[in-house]
Chain A
Amino acid sequence: MQYLRQVWTIAAKDLRSELRTKEALNASLSFALVILLLFSFAFDPTAEMTREISGGLLWLVFAFAGALLLNRSFARELENDCLDVLVTSPVPASALFLGKALANWVLLLGIEAVCLPVFGVFYNADWARQPGWLALVLLLATWGITVIGTMFSALTVNLRLRELMLPMLVYPMLIPCLMAAMQLTTALVAGQAPEGDQLAWLRMLAGFDIIFTALSVALVETVLIG
């Protein structure tokens, strides 16, 4: 029970800190919206095209926006030695990690919640035809992005070229998750409920989440403390 409370405390701290300054949130959201708008402007997709690319486009946007957000996750603790304090505190490293991942998850979901209506408007897409399934895919895939991103944020926090290394390491690792999310989202935005192959993608997404959450929780202490 205390463990969960610790996770929640860290998550709340991170959320409060981010919502007060809104630095990363603004940068991330602006970036996402700009890509969406530029894409619509550059390609002016027809309804047919939009139906085909919706999943790919949306998840690329979310992944890029996510990278901006996740970079800050552990990096913001470097000032004033906050990271050292957190690591040496009685809070276990895995609780620190889960708390941050949780906060990032909520923030990224928030960005996605803003991007979807914008997508609907500028691409004339009726994206909410399978709201339940879409919500599930958003929750699962965003957790996948968040878990990997937070983990790599911890891994690269002390490195020189952090801003460069994080995206470079994170994107290949995310490809299974993103691929599943893209396939599922394209079908869901087109209005089809998942079946057959789609359910396999969904299972894979769930499996991805479970495996990487478990691995990250197990390894984050080694990464942060040694």
Chain B
Amino acid sequence: MGDAAARNFQYLAYGLIAVWAILAVYVLTLVSRERRIGREIESLKRMIEDREGK
């Protein structure tokens, strides 16, 4: 495969990786936000239980 053709394929790879990386980043932000929400809900539930326990 010639030099130009190889570079061409390289860029194709970059392109595909870029598309999937962007979607992956979004999924990761969703996941991390989910975790943060989970933690906050837990801590608030505990706070309410404590208060009711008193």
Check A-B contact in the complex, CB < 8 A.
Answer: no
| A interface residues with partner B (beta carbon < 8 Å) | none
